[in-house]
Amino acid sequence: NHDNTNNNWAILVSTSKFWFNYRHTANAIGVYDQLLKLGFNNDNIILMLAEDSICDPRNLYSGFAPYKSINSFEDLVKQNPIKVDYRGDSVSVDSFIKVLTGRHPFGTPFNKMMRSNKNSKVFIYLTGHGGNGFFKFRDYEIITSREIATIIDEMYLQKRFKELLFITDTCQANTLFNYIETPNVFGISSSDFEQNSFSVLPDSVIGLPLADVFTFELLKTFEKNILNQTIVDWVSNLNTLKLPSTIRFFSSSKSNRNSQSVSFKDFFYC
């Protein structure tokens, strides 16, 4: 690490297995696609996909359509080949914790590490299934909101970020922030306590939704290139649309700057 250099990082995680969870893989790929289009360094993105929907024989597209009626995923593959750093069973609570804390075994390839420092702005995106105070990995294990708070605390003590933006698209997503008190941590959740996160863009060809409502709105913001608005204003505007669940903005009480000034552009460029 070069502690005096800025190197922003993005950790994009889809934790759902099985074909019927197609939209979760598509959510993560959509965010990945847009970060690359913004000029984010591909080497500074850790992509974790629990399911390989791209190569599934039931996928009748040459790729898939994350957020438009049929957005050509094939073009992304040709221009910016997807670098999947963790796939299948390697997407686990253990590997997620290792990426965030840097506690890797000797010999771990660099592409599987987040080599951040005290000047880094870190963006974490989670999509999958969850509930009150927990988030599932591969329908096999869970990480709890208390564990998430402990991990972020450890990251802060290790000086692995200057500021952190944590976006969660899952049911009861806001409960994942319940115990976070670490300074300079901000979050956006797709649903409130006792609320579900909902899918959108049902597709007649594959017979499944192509995205979730919240991530679909996030990707539209990417495409419109209006990332310099504050996140507080963005969340407020979204909630006026009467979406099926309530979007929440989170700011830890010990943050060094006014949460009203935090914008997407602080984290989405590298």
Residues acting as catalytic residues:
129, 171
Name the residue among 10, 32, 4 with its Cα closest to residue 222. 32
Name the residue among 124, 226, 201 with its Cα closest to residue 168. 124
Name the residue among 246, 187, 268, 219 with its Cα closest to residue 23. 219
| 227 close to 31: Cβ distance less than 8 angstroms | no
